[in-house]
Structure 1
């Protein structure tokens, strides 16, 4: 690999970390390294960014306990690589088989849950800001194709998100995941390893056809290349296009949610008249949001369950549909009732991220930009706000709510507890921890998507105006 090509890859990784707010800071970045070419390439590129960006790294490797001596040799290799480049490394061993049997999961799903639980626990223990994963453009194409075969909707066809959250099934663990290599191909990671004289390990289980993803990688994609030699690029374009579409729909769902949905002690109630007046796509995504609000896990929701719930909503009062996971959907005369007997849990908190003015910040699934404008273009767009620059100064901070937060909503003389504002604004409980707050030394300046602070508003005496825009995307892991 030529130096110019390596610099291009390094720039791509640095740009992704910068967008996620992870390039600089006092917290270490945990790097998941299996020993394969993709994770070794990621480690190499991140290691090259250490000095210039004051980036602290910590390597994590999990022996899944599935391949005997081969797995043990992988662990020894990763430890030796870590020693050579003087980066601390933690190696652990998991029991995927036991977890799979206990939770009735596939081998692939069980391995992913055990691996992410290990990474989450280690990240918390060392105070890491996030976990960097080595998924490439090829992995993204395989994921999109896998979801297409399963009949996934827009959410699944987006593939993997560059920055997202993982949460354990029992909601006791969570971690921010960042994927800096999604724009880099497997050919490029292998070429980088060769240029640095690295000898990646190769997981023999990747050759086993009992795993669907392996069959897609080894058989289906090569076959599809006979029809379209650029099938990978086509799948990536599909992913990117649908990501924009899903982001827009998700934004519309958040806009109508407070006007249609109310919370009860047992679940959610939808205004039936208003619900049925919406476009069917918004209806379906409202139900998906309701499912996630109550169960905390969207992965187990099927297309047929959504179709059955929508059918019950259309047919009138007295129709009840059991949706599994302890949930049921009931159509009444004026309401659609989504109920559960399970306790409700909240989402993990967002990691505090600086927002320079002008500049941008990525926090969780949110991307927030700040720029100076001559005059505001006021409209009903809830994810755009205009503030007096004196409210922020040169830099604001984007974070989740804290227990002692207070907020002075626009038009209100005094402040109130932020929790009270969120209740009054009908922000669903499950959204509150993942609703970004833009804060400065003066307090909460913007509850993103809902209201700006009265003291941060643009007035006749304002000399400089900051335009803020927030977008949000949600994808499957």
Structure 2
């Protein structure tokens, strides 16, 4: 077995099926690395860049090239290697190769044995997803210990081309065709991919010229994995029709990425200006949504769902489209659909709402009003009720009584009320004697008449007296009980407003 000039054993290089190192340009690695770093400002002078090193040719070439360019760039380089525990013997060789090469370069290196199989046996989960999650957690922790604001990953142009083709075959939105992002914030660190414009033959040629050791993962030769099949079978076949297929797919990714970045920025502007946070959910006007271009509608839905979801799995196109079509429909007046990731969408009288289903269960509450002055907040409904007492004057009663038509304000003769007053949510069978109507009416029917969104009905407080009579449905109707007249000595004024002081009517 050949050895490097550091005395560390080099590994056997197995000839990859595609493409040979002789087809590559080793000088292009250094040239494109500097160009990409400068054009995209992937690092700043004084940065420490942590390189995620698997032991394969791509990450080992990235480590060597960054280390060689570090004085010119004004950065420091550190390395981190994760052993997932799937291939014990091969993993040990990879770790030894990485440690030996880092020692040869004088690069600090942190390694970790993640033992993903043991984690899966104890906690379950998807093999690939859990390996990725544990790997990124380790990399973020290693970056923090190294004081590195950026983590460099070795995905290259051929990885990008394979990703775009794979997504095309599966069916993807334009955002999906942007492929692997050049940079992405993950926790406190930024993930960067300086090799995305460099192809595999160039990296292999670079390793050959500079004596960079690497381990070839034998599983890369198996077509049992979708990505491997794309690389080993689909790409070579399609290159018969386009000899520069990889370059074409990478151009598609760059173009789609730029357009996706622009649309993402516009979507975030719409989110900030039109979407309102309300009781653990998000709402917006149906009219405002309908005025958006269809591309923004779809992206806004995805952004809202990702904002609310506790699980990281993306929403499918079909789910997004079902919400979009439902949001634009005029009938029925109210419509809802349960979604993946524990979410729910509602359209209610021109209002759109996205919520977590677990947060929608109404919590019972009962708030006693012991005195005619004060402010009580009903957190479950996102409302506050203000009470104030006013002594009778010669013209005062008439002045206050004239304001009785305001749906957000009601007035009562304090002496005619049976105490204590109580604020509580609707109960099954509740009826009220509305002012101006002979007899009683179901509270549920008044909710419907007032077009109160169904999702708000379980939370809206009702003002009741000590005898259980419903005096007032804030924002909708008041009862005929305890009306003020010329004999009123003390007038109780009740006003409802959204908690936080907004002027939005409670019943709308």
In which range does the TM-score fall when normalised by the shorter chain? Answer: 0.5 to 0.7
Shift of 1:8: 4.0
Shift of 1:143: 1.1
Tell me the residue number matched to 1:416.
none
The 5 A counterparts of 1:227-238 are 227-238=241-252
1:324 has 2:340 as partner: yes
Shift of 1:21: 4.5
Tell me the residue number matched to 2:31.
11
Secondary structure of 1:123's counterpart equals helix
Distance in 2, Cα, partners of 1:117 & 1:101:
19
Distance in 2, Cα, partners of 1:297 & 1:229:
41
Shift of 1:336: 0.7
Tell me the residue number matched to 1:279.
293
Shift of 1:182: 0.2
Tell me the residue number matched to 2:355.
339
Tell me the residue number matched to 2:200.
186
Secondary structure of 1:30's counterpart equals strand
Tell me the residue number matched to 2:138.
118
The 5 A counterparts of 1:414-433 are none
Residues 103 and 253 of structure 1: CA distance in aligned 2, closer, same or farther (over 3 Å)? farther
CA contact (8 A) 2:83 2:111 kept: yes
Distance in 1, Cα, partners of 2:235 & 2:56:
21
Shift of 1:227: 2.3
Distance in 1, Cα, partners of 2:144 & 2:219:
30
Shift of 1:239: 0.8
Q: CA RMSD in A?
A: 2.6
1:242 has 2:256 as partner: yes
Tell me the residue number matched to 1:289.
303
Unmatched runs of 5 consecutive residues or more in structure 1: 167-172, 344-422, 425-477
The 5 A counterparts of 1:295-444 are 295=309, 299-315=313-329, 316=331, 317-340=333-356
- Aligned partner (choices 97, 100, 104) of residue 117 of structure 2: 97
Tell me the residue number matched to 2:106.
86
Structure 2 length normalisation: TM-score? Answer: 0.62
Shift of 1:16: 3.1
Shift of 1:103: 6.7
Q: How many matched pairs?
A: 338
Shift of 1:25: 3.9
CA contact (8 A) 1:22 1:129 kept: no
Shift of 1:342: 7.1
Tell me the residue number matched to 1:218.
232
The 5 A counterparts of 1:136-147 are 136-147=156-167
Shift of 1:22: 5.1
CA contact (8 A) 1:263 1:269 kept: yes
Shift of 1:288: 0.8
CA contact (8 A) 1:269 1:337 kept: yes
Shift of 1:341: 5.5
Residues 262 and 110 of structure 1: CA distance in aligned 2, closer, same or farther (over 3 Å)? same
Residues 212 and 59 of structure 1: CA distance in aligned 2, closer, same or farther (over 3 Å)? same
Secondary structure of 1:325's counterpart equals helix
Distance in 2, Cα, partners of 1:70 & 1:266:
48
Shift of 1:58: 0.9
Distance in 1, Cα, partners of 2:31 & 2:213:
24
Structure 1 or 2, whichever has the larger Rg, is 2
Residues 342 and 228 of structure 1: CA distance in aligned 2, closer, same or farther (over 3 Å)? farther
The 5 A counterparts of 1:33-112 are 33-100=53-120, 105-112=125-132
Shift of 1:213: 0.9
- Aligned partner (choices 267, 274, 280) of residue 253 of structure 1: 267
Structure 1 length normalisation: TM-score? Answer: 0.66
CA contact (8 A) 2:174 2:260 kept: yes
CA contact (8 A) 2:26 2:209 kept: no
Unmatched runs of 5 consecutive residues or more in structure 2: 1-20, 360-499, 502-508
